[in-house]
């Protein structure tokens, strides 16, 4: 296995099914401020696919895990 695949698999184990919030100070992600999401999986590019709890938002967003903070539960 290549190191890129190994890294993606490690991230999958660390983040899949975890609740997350986006770290503050990332301008392109400020629309998710105050929202809790759940990581559905991590793709082979190493980006987390996150489903946020917005009332009308059913899209999954691929976000670099370094911009996410794992939280204990939905806030």
Average pLDDT across each block of 10 residues of the chain; the chain has 75 residues. List them in order.
85 96 93 92 95 78 96 74
- State residue 74's pLDDT score: 56
pTM for this prediction: 0.86
- State residue 15's pLDDT score: 97
- State residue 53's pLDDT score: 79
- State residue 54's pLDDT score: 67
Tokens representing 71? Answer: 């939280």
Sign for the CA dihedral angle at 75, 31, 40, 44 comes to negative
Count CA within 13 A, CB hemisphere, residue 73: 0
């Amino acid at each position: 296995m290549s190191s890129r695949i190994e890294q993606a698999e490690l991230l999958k184990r660390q983040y899949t099914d975890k609740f997350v919030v986006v770290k503050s100070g990332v301008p392109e992600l400020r629309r998710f401020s105050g929202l809790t999401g759940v990581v559905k999986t991590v793709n082979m590019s190493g980006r987390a696919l996150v489903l946020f709890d917005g009332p009308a938002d059913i899209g999954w967003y691929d976000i670099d895990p370094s911009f996410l903070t794992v939280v204990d539960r939905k806030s």
